[in-house]
Structure 1
Amino acid sequence: MAGALPNLSSLVGVGIRASDEERERMARSLRRHFAAGRLSAEELEERLQCAYAARSRAELARLTVDLPSDRRVRRLLWMHRVQRRTLRYHAAAYVSANGTLVGIWALTGEHGFWPAGVLAPWTVMLAWHAVGSVAVRRALRAAGEAGPRRARLP
């Protein structure tokens, strides 16, 4: 039973232990810095070995102390995922609701286009949402994380 307990005197000052997921996150961060040209291949290999061997969060933090923080990029990536998902939902709701209203208008044969009262403001809101989504994508591209540009139709 006594052999099962760790030597507590050796753990003093170690700090909070790092998880496998935290080590993987650090490895991804180091690879992004390598791709951005901030690390050489040798530095990347050395830091990756240290990352996978790290026992505490403090040891992981020391690996990027001389590199710029990528918290902004992570926040932008999260915002981009949320924006894309909610824009899809917004567009689907727009098409289904306004399509239904225009269909009802067409079936009733009314002369005044009454669905415009809903269609116009909702179109403005959807366009505003799309502009916000494009702004997040541009910020990611400026940070070098958005990948290649989409091909535009001629």
Structure 2
Amino acid sequence: MRASDGDRDKIASVLREHYAQGRLTTEEFDERLEQLYTSKTYGELAVLTSDLPDVDLRRLPETPSRAPERTKADKKKDAQSKGLAAAWAAWATASGVNWMIWLIIGITGDFPYPWPLWVMGPWGVVLLVTTIAGGQARDRNRDRKR
């Protein structure tokens, strides 16, 4: 029966474990890994572990995937996105409050100079630059990983 990439990954983790425990020398480990990735059937995989204790190909645990690494990166991106969203929400709230004050002053008399623009303008520009720069940095990081 033909072996899958997942099966080869399981055997690779078993070989790493036995190498770490000192059952395999560096040369044996390297040879077995080379043979492992050229193996096509379960029989060929079984030969690689036949002299090692407690290796049952049908009962091997799943190898840890690389998903946790991505999850950490995703969590970091989510945290950055949430922080940026919170900054925009604070900007919108402060801008809204300032415009309401300006509107109340204007309704009770003549409308003054639109001073809330001086509050929301520079802050908004800084947030906009941060948002754009953060997106470009994430794009560069994603391109490096490829």
Q: Scaled by the length of structure 2, what TM-score is found?
A: 0.48
Higher relative contact order (CA 8 A, sep 6+): 1
- Specify which structure has the higher proportion of helix: 2
Q: Scaled by the length of structure 1, what TM-score is found?
A: 0.46
